[in-house]
């Protein structure tokens, strides 16, 4: 069974075995507005929990994308690079950003579940 968690930086993470798929939440896309550019980490690179792992740009501003967990990048989603508007259309499924092999699965425990995240997103208002 896969497990989905959320970070305070508005990323979602879905874990299957030790492979995590990561993207940004619908709430994040609503804050950003129309996304027109995305930059993803390089395949084979290592990213560290809470470190930057890409950039999304809307017409208004550029925002860093963080990785909620540590690991090695296995795959990135070229579809959203070719057509960034897909991120606004289906952020929490088809428009995933990257897949990584987790180094330390216990990092999942530091993240929020859906209810906790929804409450956090509503309260933070940003």
Partner 1 sequence: MEIKQTSLINLHKSNGAKLVEFAGYSMPIQYSDGILNEHKFTRSNCGIFDVSHMGQLFIYGEENLTNDLEKIFPVDLQNLEIDQSKYSFLMNENGGIYDDLIITKIKKGYLIILNAACKENDFKIIKEKLNDGYKLELKDNLSLIALQGPEAKDVLNKVVPNIKNLKFMHGGEFSFNDTSVYITRSGYTGEDGFEISISNEKAENFTKELLKNGSKLIGLGARDTLRLEAGLCLYGNDIDADTTPIEANLKWAISKKRIDGTYPGSKIIKKQIESGVKKLRVGIKPESKVIARANTKIFNEENKEIGKITSGTFGPSVDHPISMGYVDSKFASLNTKIFLEIRGKKVSGNICKLPFYKKNYVKEI
C-beta atoms surrounding 93 within 10 Å? 11
Q: Is the dihedral of CA 35, 107, 13, 77 positive or negative?
A: positive
What's the closest the beta carbon of residue 33 comes to partner 1, in angstroms? Answer: 6
CA atoms of 101 and 5, how far apart (whole Å): 16
Cβ pair 4, 109 in contact under 8 A: no
What's the closest the beta carbon of residue 40 comes to partner 1, in angstroms? Answer: 13
What's the closest the beta carbon of residue 90 comes to partner 1, in angstroms? Answer: 16
Name which of 36 and 108 has its Cβ closer to partner 1: 36
Name which of 39 and 72 has its Cβ closer to partner 1: 39
What's the closest the beta carbon of residue 37 comes to partner 1, in angstroms? Answer: 5
* Interface positions with partner 1 (CB under 8 A): 33-34, 36-37, 39, 55, 57-62, 85, 88
Name which of 62 and 94 has its Cβ closer to partner 1: 62
Residue 62: which H helix or E strand, with range? strand 62-66
Name which of 56 and 102 has its Cβ closer to partner 1: 56
Proportion of the chain in helix, strand, coil states, percent, rounded to 5: 25, 35, 35
């Amino acid at each position: 069974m896969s497990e989905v968690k959320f970070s305070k930086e508005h990323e979602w993470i879905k874990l299957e075995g030790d492979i995590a798929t990561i993207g940004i939440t619908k709430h994040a896309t609503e804050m950003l507005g129309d996304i027109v550019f995305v930059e993803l980490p390089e395949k084979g690179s290592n990213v560290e929990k809470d470190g930057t792992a890409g950039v999304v740009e809307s017409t208004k501003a550029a925002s860093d994308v963080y990785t909620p967990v540590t690991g090695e990048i296995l795959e990135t989603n070229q579809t959203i690079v070719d057509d960034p508007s897909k991120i606004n259309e289906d952020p929490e499924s088809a428009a995933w950003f990257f897949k990584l092999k987790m180094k330390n699965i216990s990092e999942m425990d530091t993240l929020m579940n859906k209810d906790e995240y929804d409450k956090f997103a509503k309260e933070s208002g940003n």
